Chains A and B, each alone.
Chain A
Amino acid sequence: WRAPPGTRTLTPRFGPSKPMLAFRFLRALTLVHRTAANSSNAARSRRIQRAAFASMAYSAGPRRAWSRALLCRLHFHRARRRCAGRRRAAGVPRRPSTTGSPADGLRRLVPGGTGMDYCGLLEETADYIRCLSEQVKLMQSIVDSVGPGGR
């Protein structure tokens, strides 16, 4: 029995790159503000949220399944929005968790989780959680740095 030669070792890996994350996100943020200054807050917030996820995925690198899946999903949605109006793509059909697999909920949450085995799913989840928390921290600090007069 030979384990798959590409077996990756367990985490801890290097975490998400904070400078890269900050850079990308800030860039995206300014761009959103510039280009969509006139649109509604909700639309802008959507864009910002997408930008947040995208910068997260970029910083995580292409080696991560979740970052790839996230980017594909974002791009796909964006293409859909551009071309086909506001129809939201279904993406992967949601399977009801009648099979009883405990990881189904997690699979839905983590981008790209549906195509993974349990072991890889856990690893991707860990990385995803790390990146998410970094992103949240970044955004929170931006919000804080703007100060109370931001609103």
Chain B
Amino acid sequence: MEAKENNQFGLEKSHGDHISSHSSGAAGFVTPLTSSPILSASMVEAFFAPSLWNHHTSSCTMNFGESNIQTATSGINCVPIGKPVAMSNRGMLPSPPPGEFPHSLPHFPVDSGFIERAARLSCFGGSSFRGISLFGPSQSMAPPSDASKDVNGARVLKAELNVVSLPVEHGTIKGITTNSKRDRSISHVGTSNNESREGNFCEDGQERHTGSADAAGNSSSSDLGANKRRKATEEMEKEKDQVLRALQSSTETTKNNTETKHKSYKHSGKNAKDNSEAAKEGYVHVRAQRGQATNSHSLAERVRREKISERMKYLQELVPGCSKVTGKAVMLDEIINYVQSLQRQVEFLSMKLAAVNPQLDFSIEGPLAKNLLHSHGGSSSAAGFSQEMIYPQVYSSQQGLAHAGISSMLNPSDAFRRPMNTEIPMASGYKETSLQMHNSWNEQLVMQMAYGANPPLNSQVINRKPDGFTI
């Protein structure tokens, strides 16, 4: 499989140059549905080559794409699914039988990017299909004048999605973007994870998504997809899902008329799947099935449901012993119980701490607070000083978290002081409350320090939401 891919790469690269020559005449897609690396036509190679690993032929792809879109050839416009489709015989998708591909897709506005991605994905080969999701390109089909996305077109898309979903599990399919950004996305499809595999697959940089997503703006699904892609940026594990969902949702509007077969698209809802697993895993993602409303409300509802389910899953991980529980109601009860128990624990521990003799003479506030809240510079010296002060006392008993906490907090305290004004955009209300809160339990501190002299300092130190700490 790898060899085949390499062969394909070689072939594609060799043909990279005469893409431009093909650009005008790039009529039909060849559908090398056989599993063998038969690039059945030079067209295929041309398709594959354009930007496969070169990233440079954006112009070529653009021309290509346009020509593709414009060609109303009644010829075979099949996506060169090629291997992926063949490899989809793992049973992941009911890929359209090869025989159906020769259906004319005259208006299948698959532009070059689409095909490139398909090619790339096919080249990635053996990795399992994570799931099928329609890439953004499917959405791009909407703008073209042609709205007749027949079932074949849908199938082709689906197959392409098969291909597309290949590297999903590698973690970084950054969603495909809309038409306008197609060329960019195509040319820069590079994955961060897939270095082992030519690493060019996924787009780099989220700004592409967001930018393209913003630029898309034309269809609700694109926004939806953009939002979903944005969501994906922050979570590697769930990226794949997001992307798939984005793709799916983005295609929903485009395909609402024609698709029937995409119902079977499934994508793994769970991220920790091994590569060899077929794409028919996880839950059946909710899609715009036949006859289902695809208006914005249902889409929004779907998004909302997905968000909720994601968060429920995360909560399930947080709350110990909840992995076996299924059902929202029971989960909620468990969560409530857990939160209550935590709060009770805090109360109990605070009672214990109150009873503890104040032999824990931390004396943090004296030197440390002064260092933290007063001096801008000399942080290291101050920190060292504070450390000396604190350690002998804290260590009276043992090295607990107190030690770790204190020692570690001294270092970041320097960082707090420097970008004093960067955290201004905190809620001013928050600042005020924090100032007052600071008063509430640090009355002595307040008096000792020149609190009045440095209110912004104080609040900022208190309020500082250092990057990397929370959120």
Contacts and interface: CB of A to CB of B under 8 A. Distances in A.
Give the residue among A13, A14, A37, A126 with the most B Cβ atoms within 10 A.
A126
Interface stretch (B45-53, B168-176, B347-355): B347-355
A42 B347 CA distance: 11
B402 A14 contact: no
Interface stretch (B96-104, B150-158, B301-309): B301-309
A138 B401 contact: yes
A9 B245 CA distance: 14
A137 B311 CA distance: 24
A145 B351 CA distance: 16
Contacts of B342: 129, 132-133, 136
B146 interface: no
Contact of A74 (B223, B227, B401, B440): B440
30 contacts: A2-B223, A3-B300, A9-B230, A12-B314, A13-B234, A14-B468, A14-B469, A14-B471, A26-B405, A27-B369, A29-B353, A30-B362, A30-B365, A31-B365, A42-B351, A45-B355, A58-B437, A62-B426, A64-B470, A75-B433, A78-B436, A105-B332, A105-B333, A106-B336, A133-B342, A141-B401, A143-B352, A147-B397, A150-B357, A151-B355
Nearest to A22: B405
Interface of A is mostly: helix
A92 interface: no
Interface of B: 220, 223-224, 227, 230-235, 238, 296-297, 299-300, 303-304, 307-308, 310-312, 314-315, 318-319, 328-329, 332-333, 335-336, 338-340, 342-343, 345-347, 349-365, 368-369, 394, 397-402, 404-406, 408-409, 412-413, 426-427, 429-430, 433-434, 436-437, 440-445, 462-463, 465-466, 468-471
Interface string A108-132: 0110000000110011011011101
Contacts of B445: 27, 31
B353 A63 contact: no
A124 to B, nearest CB: 10
B318 A48 contact: no
A142 interface: yes
A139 B342 CA distance: 12
Nearest to B297: A1
B335 A125 contact: yes
Interface of A: 1-3, 7, 9-23, 26-35, 37, 41-42, 44-54, 58-64, 68, 71-72, 74-75, 78-79, 102-103, 105-106, 109-110, 118-119, 122-123, 125-126, 128-130, 132-133, 135-147, 150-151
Nearest to A139: B349
Contacts of A11: 235, 311, 314
Given A1-B299, A62-B427, A10 B314 contact: yes
A129 B338 contact: yes
B462 A58 contact: yes
Contacts of A64: 470-471
B354 to A, nearest CB: 4
A12 B265 CA distance: 27
B470 A61 contact: yes
Contacts, number: 283
A45 B296 contact: no
Contacts of A105: 332-333, 336
Contact of A119 (B307, B364, B441, B444): B307
A70 to B, nearest CB: 10
B397 A129 contact: no
Contacts of A143: 349, 352-353, 356
Contacts of B399: 145
B416 to A, nearest CB: 9
Contacts of B362: 26-27, 29-30
Nearest to B445: A31
Contact of B443 (A19, A23, A35): A35
Given A35-B443, A41-B355, A142-B400, A13 B470 contact: yes
Given A45-B354, A62-B426, A102 B332 contact: yes
Contacts of B413: 23
A102 B361 contact: no
B220 to A, nearest CB: 4
A146 B441 contact: no
Given A29-B353, A54-B437, 7 more contacts: A11-B311, A15-B470, A19-B409, A62-B463, A78-B436, A136-B349, A139-B352
* Smallest CB-CB A-B distances: 3 pairs: A22-B405, A145-B400, A1-B296
A144 to B, nearest CB: 6
Contact of B354 (A20, A34, A48, A125): A48
Nearest to B466: A17
A47 B304 CA distance: 40
Given A11-B311, A45-B350, A74-B437, A61 B471 contact: yes
A62 B349 contact: no
B420 to A, nearest CB: 16
A48 B223 contact: no
Contacts of B299: 1
Contacts of A118: 308
B343 A132 contact: yes
Nearest to A4: B227
A129 B400 contact: no
B464 to A, nearest CB: 8
Nearest to A130: B318
Contacts of B356: 143, 146, 150-151
